[in-house]
Chains A and B, each alone.
Chain A
Amino acid sequence: MARLELNSVGKAFGAVRCANDLSLIVEPGEIVAVFGPSGSGKTVLLRMIAGMFEPDEGDILVGGRSIIGAPPEHRGVGMAFQNFALFPHMSAQDNIASGLRAKAAGGEVTSRVNSISRLLKIEHVLGHMPRELSNGQKQRTALARALIGNPEVLLLDDPLRNVDAKLRYEMRLELPSLLRRSSAAVLYVTQDYREAMAIADRIAVLIEGRLVQVARPEEIYARPASVAVARLFGDPSINLAEVTPRAEQGALTAEVAGTRVRLESPDRQPADYGACWLGVRPDDLTVARTAGEGAIPARIVAITPMHERAVLLLRFADGIEWLAALPPDAAVGSAEDSVFVRFAPEAALLFDRASGLRIGLPPRRQAA
């Protein structure tokens, strides 16, 4: 099998730059999720690889061979579309087989269609027309069609977007093993960070046409490259406060809502980092009734019970609001109660306020 390689790929539509110096390598058998907010250029990236647009600059290689200028049918690329894009006038069987008819003989086509539809559990609807299929079946048919030709590169454009929650959950569990079986280099576009973390070996975070970070899921969660990345991963999203950290006697501290808290120094020797964002994930906060060193006084504004935890909306004296996600049995009080909020020094992330980039060495920490 072949690896997929993007070399400084760029693309603009008029004044809008949808892809800016994108470089990425996807090994055969690897699943890389392309994750980013809508309009960040994910779909354009897939379409450049599939050959629907050509990039303005840079090169795209499959197995070391450039596919720029090659027609879509000669790129060795399979794709599953967000809107399924099934052929409405063909049965599910013919839809799946369409990818093979050009290459294989009749008997082989039938047996391959049967085996892949058994794998995807759609063998009982093979005779149906697309309009008679449920969204889940349509999506599986589209996946089967993309997989059957054994493409070297498999592009999945948010394939679980239009299916219901239960099926999405099931497919999140099934997809990785299914995709690995094909040993294709897989690019998986999604807008859901949980989906990206569940399915992918690595995640490529795309923001405004730029790849901001490419790393393993737990690394992106624990050590986001910038404030923007930190905000995209995690629900509830990361708490932020404007701070100016101070280095004193070999320790780094910052003032949050009038309370001086200790931070882990990004460097061996703490320095003056200037204006920063301090980021702490809601899971890393502890809330207690007792005051103490580094405990920030706050008032509980609201408590939202979520299935496996309770989310507290806290307000500090200076008006900043943070969220804390706690185990549901951690009875800390009710709304309007005064509490004290703590976090471990190593849980805090520091980002430069001007550039948004994370400062210094990454603090070691377990992914949630």
Chain B
Amino acid sequence: MDHSSLAGRIFRGVALALVLVFFMFPIVWILMMSFQTNEQILRIPPRILFEPTLANYQALISGHLRTTAGNLEISFMRNLMNSFVLSSAAVLLALLLGVPAAYAFARFKFRLGESIAFTLLSFRFAPPLLVLLPLSLYYQQLGLNDTYFGIVWVYQLIALPLILWIVRGYFEDISPDIEHAYRLAGHSWREAFTRIAVPLAGPGIAAAGLLSFIFCWNNFVFALILASADKQPVTVGALAFVTASGIQYGQIAAAIVLSVTPTLLLALYAQRYLVEGLSLGAVKG
């Protein structure tokens, strides 16, 4: 690094700037759009300097959208709430199911164990569209269509494999002797699991939970097919801005900013956890 030439340093700087602009520009542009009216957005050529307006956010939060074709009721805040409820419930359920399962896969060799673990992982390979048609038919038969529980359940396809495989690596890294020592001290295996294994795998569980929360939050297609308007998350709710009188770019931008902010804050806050957690689990000591 230190003894690289001046040209090398300049090249590195330019390359980094290019990459940064490439990835950050859309986000910055969306943020700017969210403070503009539709007319300002559609102006050609677009301007960097403009008079900001909060109308888009007001419309989203109040739920009344005034368009040239009349007033439109939108349920964006409800969608946002749905996203919270669905993602949190899905992650919670996945943790309840996935952490004990990860422990079992890490500690015990059992028949078909690896096959089961791999099958669960393979849910992440399959495109969701592949399973959606049969799934929606099942859901109609089972009465799970358009229920919160139904969506939380289908989100397990996203969250469960992630949690299972990340947390499993963590449990494998804990020396079994530590748990043996706790049991010899007079505690049952259940206590050894809850007081030794789970706390020691804590960073990994947190990282896996966070990651699966973000994946659930960003999911679009499951909720689009399996839920109706009042149970849909923001990703689907944003479609409401494609109206008969035109596409409400300003509101879409504001909606995107609002829906990205929670996960972005969460990821930034837990960044240290995420990086440390994910890498620790992967590197065997």
List the interface of chain A (C-beta within 8 A of B).
50-52, 71-73, 75, 77-79, 81, 83, 85-89, 98-99, 102-103, 142, 145-146, 149
Contact = CB atoms under 8 A, between A and B. Distances in A.
Contacts of A99: 184-186
Given A79-B181, A85-B180, A71 B200 contact: no
A183 B198 CA distance: 35
A88 B185 CA distance: 15
Nearest to A88: B200
A85 B185 contact: no
Dominant secondary structure of chain A at its interface with chain B: loop
Contacts of B185: 73, 98-99, 102, 145, 149
A72 B183 CA distance: 6
Contact of B184 (A77, A83, A86, A87): A77
A46 to B, nearest CB: 11
Interface string B166-197: 00000000011110111111111100000010
B199 interface: yes
A89 B199 contact: yes
Which 9 residue pairs are nearest across A and B when measured between Cβ atoms?
A: A99-B185, A85-B177, A102-B186, A72-B183, A85-B181, A98-B185, A85-B178, A73-B186, A81-B177
B180 A52 contact: yes
14 contacts: A50-B184, A51-B184, A52-B180, A71-B189, A73-B187, A77-B184, A81-B181, A85-B177, A85-B178, A85-B181, A88-B200, A89-B200, A98-B185, A99-B186
A196 B182 CA distance: 27
Interface of B: 175-178, 180-189, 196, 199-200
A72 B200 contact: no
Contacts of A142: 181
Contact of B180 (A79, A89, A149): A79
Contacts of A50: 180, 184
A85 B176 CA distance: 9
A103 B183 CA distance: 13
Given A89-B199, A89-B200, A102 B180 contact: no
Of listed A75, A79, A103, A142, residue having the most chain B CB within 10 A: A79
B184 A72 contact: yes
Given A71-B189, A73-B188, A87 B183 contact: no
Given A98-B185, A103-B186, A87 B196 contact: yes
Contacts of B188: 71, 73
Contact of B182 (A71, A98, A146): A98
Contacts of A89: 199-200
A71 B181 CA distance: 13
A75 B186 CA distance: 9
Contacts of A75: 184
A12 B185 CA distance: 27
Given A83-B175, A85-B177, A71 B186 contact: no
Contacts of A73: 183-188
A345 B187 CA distance: 58
Nearest to B196: A87
Contacts of A103: 186
Contacts of A72: 180, 183-184
A28 to B, nearest CB: 19
A191 to B, nearest CB: 18
Given A85-B177, A99-B186, 13 more contacts: A51-B184, A72-B180, A72-B183, A73-B185, A85-B175, A85-B180, A87-B182, A98-B182, A98-B187, A102-B185, A145-B185, A146-B184, A149-B185
